[in-house]
Structure 1
């Protein structure tokens, strides 16, 4: 029995065995039925090991295919056999299920008599598994890289005010520094003078008058809003802008704005839809300034509706209108090129 690579096989529907083939007597069938009753539902391939044998299960919809093999036959080769059985079973399912028993015997004999072919298929399955694992690792790594980029962008916006505050503190320290450093205690004994400020002529912020007469700019730091302070009304006013411009106007990072939009129930920034409809209006005005007034009004109403509910998609009628106008514009251009 130990020298035979394939020992027992069956086809079952859920927990009921429909057809089977057993080449040896023993408790193999009993153990297989017990394993069938305990199959988990989170995968379609399972392998149990017992007494030097592997119990290999392949699940396809409500059907379960099993083969019991010696451990020396390998871990992938039994599933090559099960794939053959599954394909044959699906093709022959129109006939009586009882006929599948002898077919199991034929498949088992074929796998035993063609070890080289089974070995090649086994190598292919193993290589396919390695490739799929590598693809999953790459995808997981890409997701981690995107997360790092978002965190870096958020950190950049959060560090900005701190950097400006630090520069301002250094500027104030320089303005209060003594002109001579002959005495080490002179700097500590220097009294603090109030800052003399003058209005900036170019509107860049306050200008501080240095004791030496040098005028230095002191940038005023405007605090960035907390993410929870961004209400729907504030965000909706920026829907007509690209998301990068909107984030800059709202003084938040792009990743923060995207995260807040998801919290507000906005799965996708609606700028492209709004821009598409506005381009449609411009095209209609270009073709016939007074001929599309009714349709232009409808498109503008649709833009306002999308601003109120960004989850709305462009209406089918509007898509058809856009295609018709595009075709008309294209025909006019071709006609003008032909006549000229």
Structure 2
């Protein structure tokens, strides 16, 4: 997984971003996401928007919108997972009306850092999964190679046994032939 998988995230109340988190990769992610918030269908609790190889995923609950921007190749499953984590953590910390009076970017310092940690954790998890899958592929490849070597070795053993059996049969046929010749010569 590329290190730029998770690029940007925020929590907003209406169109006011209360907390946001950036990675070191630049882009106009905030402007595009805020534009999409205004265009979200009122009935949608989840919404995904693809733009220039980036996926903007929104999770809407009550008056809050949770957003994450990832590389398109990552897919939406990881995006939804991180948004669910962000939402749960946000509600645990600021539920019961504690975030209702927060100003724009008022929770940035505290919760922005938490979102960044969650994005980093998710990136690490994705990288670990890729490495584990690669490890499985290596083990499978190693097993396949061992099976082929075993097959080759087994085939070589079968050929050697076949040759030995043929030699024994040829020697037996030769002995029988010589005995027949001996019997014929003695009878003459």
Summarize the alignment of residues 254-265 of structure 1 with structure 2, pairs less than 5 Å apart: none
Q: Which consecutive unaligned segments of at least 5 residues does structure 2 have? A: 100-105, 131-188
Helix, strand or coil at the partner of 2:31: helix
Instruction: Give the equivalent residue in structure 2 for 1:14.
Output: 14
Summarize the alignment of residues 188-337 of structure 1 with structure 2, pairs less than 5 Å apart: none
CA deviation after TM superposition for structure 1 residue 72, in Å: 1.0
Q: Which consecutive unaligned segments of at least 5 residues does structure 1 have? A: 120-340
How many residue pairs match? The answer is 118
- Is the CA contact (8 Å cut-off) linking 1:47 and 1:57 kept in structure 2? yes
Whether 1:111 aligns to 2:122 is: yes
Structure 2 distance, partners of 1:74, 1:49, is 10
- Is the CA contact (8 Å cut-off) linking 1:111 and 1:118 kept in structure 2? no
Measured against aligned partners, the alpha-carbon deviations of 1:79-133 in whole angstroms (never above 9, x if no partner) come to 00000000100111158733111111011011011127889xxxxxxxxxxxxxx
Helix, strand or coil at the partner of 2:7: strand
Whether 1:97 aligns to 2:98 is: no
Helix, strand or coil at the partner of 1:55: strand
CA deviation after TM superposition for structure 1 residue 28, in Å: 1.5
Instruction: Give the equivalent residue in structure 1 for 2:81.
Output: 80
Instruction: Give the equivalent residue in structure 2 for 1:51.
Output: 52
Measured against aligned partners, the alpha-carbon deviations of 1:272-321 in whole angstroms (never above 9, x if no partner) come to xxxxxxxxxxxxxxxxxxxxxxxxxxxxxxxxxxxxxxxxxxxxxxxxxx
Helix, strand or coil at the partner of 1:114: helix
TM-score normalised by length of structure 1: 0.33
Q: Which has the higher contact order (CA 8 A, sep 6+)?
A: 2
Structure whose alpha-carbon radius of gyration is higher:
1
Cα gap change, 1:74/1:45 in structure 2, threshold over 3 Å: closer, same or farther?
A: same
Helix, strand or coil at the partner of 2:26: coil
Cα gap change, 1:15/1:118 in structure 2, threshold over 3 Å: closer, same or farther?
A: farther
Report the RMSD for the aligned CA atoms in angstroms. Answer: 2.2
Helix, strand or coil at the partner of 2:76: coil
Helix, strand or coil at the partner of 1:25: coil
Cα gap change, 1:74/1:42 in structure 2, threshold over 3 Å: closer, same or farther?
A: same
Structure 2 distance, partners of 1:97, 1:110, is 20
CA deviation after TM superposition for structure 1 residue 74, in Å: 1.2
Instruction: Give the equivalent residue in structure 2 for 1:26.
Output: 27
Q: Higher mean Cα deviation, 25-34 or 104-113?
A: 25-34
Cα gap change, 1:82/1:5 in structure 2, threshold over 3 Å: closer, same or farther?
A: same
